[in-house]
Structure 1
């Protein structure tokens, strides 16, 4: 086996490489009720004008704006009340100068009317309405097609659908929604010391943390995790899981066994079963990361320590999943803050330090070994120290990439 472990690549090179092997997800159609959080596979257009008619957006009186020009509290304009407009009435009313209609919010504007006076600026006296404030043409009126015109693009391809988006899709008639298929991500944990979560570990054993860390991350990014199993340093078992996984998964994540240690089987198996594109990234924590392909399925070998696992997921795998899903990466949230203490760094590697936000816009580094979970649990995100720097100074403004 020829190893390229010492040929470290930069983080940006690793991201570009991962994105370059991302398989495109095919389109599918889902019911509107199931479309929350899904990614549109094509532009969606309105099949009608919304609204389909000029309507009031306030309770009040439909009027000719010119009839209210000089209206004041002391000298109101007097208009004849011609009637009341009911919601959902099919028949359209018409209005002449000097007249008005009582109209509810959402009511269809009568022909001739060009504004609505809010009810609080009026008084009804017998069959007349006293208007005490002038209105401009178009005031308190929503025009036909003002929300969405017929044939207009409402959402573009790649949009990640929110709850309010589903409401808009209902309005434009999308009972079924064209979306990208969710990527199925196979997850394998390796290590002779790994035991299932429901088993109490003996001395020398640890529970399978990374399978669930990876699974939750995949779900958050819009994928479908598939637990392929735990491999207890059995090369034949690893080969079997990978071969079966590439037939039903769009991506495989293998946690553990990616370093150059002779006992680490992930690297050995990927070199023999597939094509290793990179083995080693200038990333701390996360240096032993493997980027490979087995057949046409991307496989990422991730270091086994949970903090390193989460870092590689956040910094590299996230971009791969985004590329597969076909949407713009808008899920990352960034906040500016000031460091409360100095941070040293090993020059030559891009380093990510876990951060807890304290007080107002202050960033407190959480230092800890990559095998520890507490710094992930307690942190709000990470800051990046560029490869060319030897650290950051207290008081320096930094960008915190929130988990």
Structure 2
């Protein structure tokens, strides 16, 4: 059973186990219904389609040449060689974007460019490299087979077939497929609007002077961009000092144009950690503390029926908690599919990892030559993020991962 914990004279709520915390967060996100909108294809990069898209035309629309050369009847080239070329009469020429109204008869051919439609009567292309032209006479130096170097109508995509499935992320290649169908508009999932706040008296922006005792704000940039990578529209709401009223006002302001709010810092049970108290007044705290390392002082709650996430202030802890507990839910809300199995790789631990029994641990590792190299730094060591490729999950019942043991690594990229 969860137990009460006390730190620096103030209480965490009942500490949640990892599985319980994940379920609570998932259930909160499930209260949101993904919305849809129609957009122009020019603005479709990075969006997620909200319905299956069917093909409206055959691709190619016509039999077309894959090579520069001559459209021929394949039978007219049989036996052709350098020593015994086949002589054909060229009756026309076709460039890409045009066509010939002429029909090829036995012993005839038509010069053709790559991409041009195949003229009637022909069924193959004799490549220009294996042909010689002298006026209207063309000598074929190599025989060709029927349909050689042709893209037949509908061989790429047939009309009324599934083109892209619902929940497909629109990358450049997918957009190219849509453009080839002449699609101008499409229905996509709306991006959830997520506000990001960093809290702490020690934080300054990168354009401010770095006085002694101050540090640059890391989490605004890392968490905001991690959120964008999950398909959301993330808005940086700046730095808030450890001041109750200032934080309350910033939260009120942020929720006016956001569906979800993610704060970092001020989540523990120390004297200067005020997020829980602000949330208690403005709404409801559902989670305060998760039995996990790093990231125990995590807060989850509701204000005006909107989800509030409080991440630890340490950059490593904040990102780990985000990737493990928050990212899958934002991806789902954005319409993105579950993270592909390709982002989970197997590797062998290069050295021992000792883990505290009783708490799930997520240990940062670097992948090199099929080895998972532990990055053994504390959760406040920002340099570890620069070297980490992903993390290894260590169950709370495991105290030791031995050298050479195979593990699953969840990749950040």
State whether TM-score is above 0.5: yes
After superposition, the Cα gap between the structure-2 partners of 1:4 and 1:96, relative to the gap in structure 1 and judged at 3 Å, is: farther
1:126 is displaced (CA, Å) by 5.0
1:31 is displaced (CA, Å) by 3.1
| Equivalent residues of 1:18, 1:319 under 8 A apart | no
Deviations 1:302-322 (A, max 9, x none): 111111011112212211210
Aligned to 1:185: 194
Aligned to 1:14: 21
| 1:145 is the counterpart of 2:154 | yes
Of 136, 139, 143, the residue aligned with 2:145 is: 136
Of 283, 287, 294, the residue aligned with 1:278 is: 287
Aligned to 1:343: 353
Consecutive unaligned residues of structure 1, counting only runs of 5 or more, are none
1:261 partner SS: coil
| Equivalent residues of 1:4, 1:278 under 8 A apart | no
Deviations 1:53-83 (A, max 9, x none): 1100111221222333433444344333232
| Equivalent residues of 1:24, 1:326 under 8 A apart | no
Aligned to 1:243: 252
333-342 or 209-218, which deviates more: 333-342
2:286 partner SS: strand
1:139 is displaced (CA, Å) by 1.8
| Equivalent residues of 1:335, 1:402 under 8 A apart | yes
1:257 is displaced (CA, Å) by 2.0
Aligned to 1:107: 116
User: Which whole-Å CA distance do the structure 2 matches of 1:82 and 1:246 have between them?
Assistant: 72
After superposition, the Cα gap between the structure-2 partners of 1:95 and 1:278, relative to the gap in structure 1 and judged at 3 Å, is: same
88-97 or 246-255, which deviates more: 88-97
Of 279, 293, 296, the residue aligned with 2:305 is: 296
Of 350, 363, 379, the residue aligned with 1:353 is: 363
1:91 is displaced (CA, Å) by 4.6
User: Which whole-Å CA distance do the structure 1 matches of 2:350 and 2:272 have between them?
Assistant: 41
| Equivalent residues of 1:92, 1:108 under 8 A apart | no
| 1:225 is the counterpart of 2:234 | yes
User: Which whole-Å CA distance do the structure 2 matches of 1:297 and 1:201 have between them?
Assistant: 35
| 1:85 is the counterpart of 2:94 | yes
| Equivalent residues of 2:100, 2:119 under 8 A apart | no
272-281 or 55-64, which deviates more: 272-281
Aligned to 1:40: 49
Question: TM-score with structure 2 length normalisation?
Answer: 0.87
User: Which whole-Å CA distance do the structure 2 matches of 1:362 and 1:287 have between them?
Assistant: 28
User: Which whole-Å CA distance do the structure 2 matches of 1:330 and 1:102 have between them?
Assistant: 50
Consecutive unaligned residues of structure 2, counting only runs of 5 or more, are 1-9
| 1:381 is the counterpart of 2:390 | yes
Of 34, 37, 53, the residue aligned with 1:28 is: 37
Deviations 1:73-108 (A, max 9, x none): 443443332322233225543222332222111111
1:191 is displaced (CA, Å) by 2.7
User: Which whole-Å CA distance do the structure 2 matches of 1:151 and 1:222 have between them?
Assistant: 29
> What are the equivalent positions in structure 2 for 1:258-269 lying under 5 Å apart?
258-261=267-270, 263-269=272-278
| Equivalent residues of 1:187, 1:211 under 8 A apart | yes
1:265 is displaced (CA, Å) by 1.6
1:80 partner SS: strand
Aligned to 2:184: 175
After superposition, the Cα gap between the structure-2 partners of 1:88 and 1:277, relative to the gap in structure 1 and judged at 3 Å, is: same
User: Which whole-Å CA distance do the structure 2 matches of 1:161 and 1:251 have between them?
Assistant: 24
| 1:54 is the counterpart of 2:70 | no
